[in-house]
Amino acid sequence: MQVPSHFEYERAADVEQVLALLARYGPEARVVAGGHSLLPMMKLRLAAPDALIDINDVSELSYIRVERDELLIGTLVRHAELLDSPVAAEHFPIFREAERVIADPLVRNRGTVGGSLCQADPSEDLSAAFAAVRASAVIRNAEGSRTVPLREFHVGPYETVVGDGELLTEFRVPIKPGGSSAYEKVGRRAGDWALAAAGAAIWLDGGNVADVGIGLTAVGAAHFVAAEAEEYLRGRPADDESFAQAGRIAAEHCRPTADQRGPVDYKRHLAGELTTRALRRAAERART
């Protein structure tokens, strides 16, 4: 039987209270949202916080809405809610496609979008999706709030810019006309983490690529981004040939490691192929 070590438990009702409790308990306190990453680690004693601040009642962090030209997603939104959100799907089909293949319905009922990003697992799916659409993250602390581009959010595996005493509160995704998005993942079985996955967001100017975002996960891409492939595509014709070449460039520049899920060359092959497919589908959607 896996039992976490002792900790104190507090439940916060709003963001102010979360910040006050984090300040009171100090650096050994941790926020718990869905708990589907943190509790397993505590059960294995890979994490042993002194105090847990439960944010499940902080309903002000549960929303998905459009404000001006941005899609706003509160960090307490459950995976299941993002999966079913018509407004998210309307602007960014990538979210529905990514959510459909994250874990399973029971985990999705509990796990949150903010918890996933803060966990910063190198195989996490939403990191690639948010990187592709060039989201930014809003972080609150005692002094106020700051906004960080998602492409600067991850410091390393399991490490983000969210510091002690801080709370991630919101994701903002800029909505620009003429674009669409798609997500492609290969896993070993239903509900499993990615062997490799790619998300693409593309904006067209006539037949050409005006702008593009490519996110990669599980293949060691820096900041979950295929920057060189994006660079190559900008201004080029939005056709199969360009997308195939972008896939080759993405494969070349990522750095997968071998593990129980698969060897390096297979993951690299997938990174390229999935990049090409995601770009092709995103462009098809952008055209209609």
Partner 1 sequence: MKITVTVNGQDHERDVEPRLLLVHFLRDDLGLTGTHWGCDTSNCGVCAVWLDDVPVKSCTVLAVMADGKTVRTVEDLERDGELDPVQKGFSECHGLQCGFCTPGMLMTSRWLLDTNPDPSDEEIRVAISGQLCRCTGYENIVRSVRWAAEHPAVQNTSEPDVTV
Ligand X SMILES: Cc1cc2nc3c(=O)[nH]c(=O)nc-3n(C[C@H](O)[C@H](O)[C@H](O)COP(=O)(O)OP(=O)(O)OC[C@H]3O[C@@H](n4cnc5c(N)ncnc54)[C@H](O)[C@@H]3O)c2cc1C
Cα–Cα–Cα angle for 50, 56, 62, rounded to 5 degrees: 135
Task: Give the whole-angstrom CA distance, residue 143 versus residue 39.
Answer: 29
Name the closest residue to ligand X (Cβ): 115
Our finding on whether 260 is near partner 1 (CB under 8 A) is no
Q: In whole angstroms, how close is the CB of 281 to ligand X at the nearest point?
A: 20
Q: What is the DSSP letter of 122?
A: T
Strand partners, 199: 183, 215
Task: Give the whole-angstrom CA distance, residue 91 versus residue 173.
Answer: 10
Q: In whole angstroms, how close is the CB of 203 to ligand X at the nearest point?
A: 25
Binding partner selected for residue 114 from partner 1, ligand X, none, CB under the kind-specific 5 to 8 Å limit: ligand X
* Residue whose C-alpha is closest to residue 157's, from 221, 112, 242: 221
Our finding on whether 23 is near partner 1 (CB under 8 A) is no
Which of 104, 239 has the CB closer to ligand X?
A: 104
Backbone phi and psi for residue 136, each to the nearest 5 degrees, phi listed first = -130, 160
The structure tokens 């062997």 sit at 195
Strand partners, 200: 182, 214
Instruction: Transcribe 145-186 into DSSP letters.
Output: EEEEEGGGTEEETTEES--TT-EEEEEEEE--TTEEEEEEEE
Our finding on whether 43 is near partner 1 (CB under 8 A) is yes
Task: Give the whole-angstrom CA distance, residue 286 versus residue 95.
Answer: 16
Binding partner selected for residue 190 from ligand X, partner 1, none, CB under the kind-specific 5 to 8 Å limit: partner 1
Our finding on whether 107 is near ligand X (CB under 6 A) is yes
Our finding on whether 102 is near ligand X (CB under 6 A) is yes
Our finding on whether 125 is near ligand X (CB under 6 A) is yes
Site for ligand X in 221-260 (CB under 6 A): none
How many other C-beta atoms lie within 10 A of the C-beta of residue 192? 15
Which of 103, 212 has the CB closer to ligand X?
A: 103
Our finding on whether 54 is near partner 1 (CB under 8 A) is yes
Which of 36, 261 has the CB closer to partner 1?
A: 36
Our finding on whether 188 is near partner 1 (CB under 8 A) is no
Our finding on whether 75 is near ligand X (CB under 6 A) is yes
Which of 21, 71 has the CB closer to partner 1?
A: 21
List b or e across 150-179, with b for residues whose CB sees 16 or more CB atoms inside 10 angstroms: bbebbeeeeebebeebbbbbbbbbeeeeeb
Q: What is the DSSP letter of 65?
A: E
Binding partner selected for residue 43 from partner 1, ligand X, none, CB under the kind-specific 5 to 8 Å limit: partner 1
Which of 104, 240 has the CB closer to partner 1?
A: 104
Q: Which of 13, 23, 87, 106 binds partner 1 (CB under 8 A)?
A: 106
Binding residues for ligand X, rule: CB under 6 A, are 30-38, 75, 79, 102-103, 107, 111-112, 114-116, 118-119, 124-126, 162, 167-168, 191, 193
Task: Give the interface with partner 1 as residue ranges (CB under 8 A).
Answer: 1-9, 11, 32, 35-36, 39-40, 42-43, 52, 54, 56, 80, 103-107, 109-110, 190-191
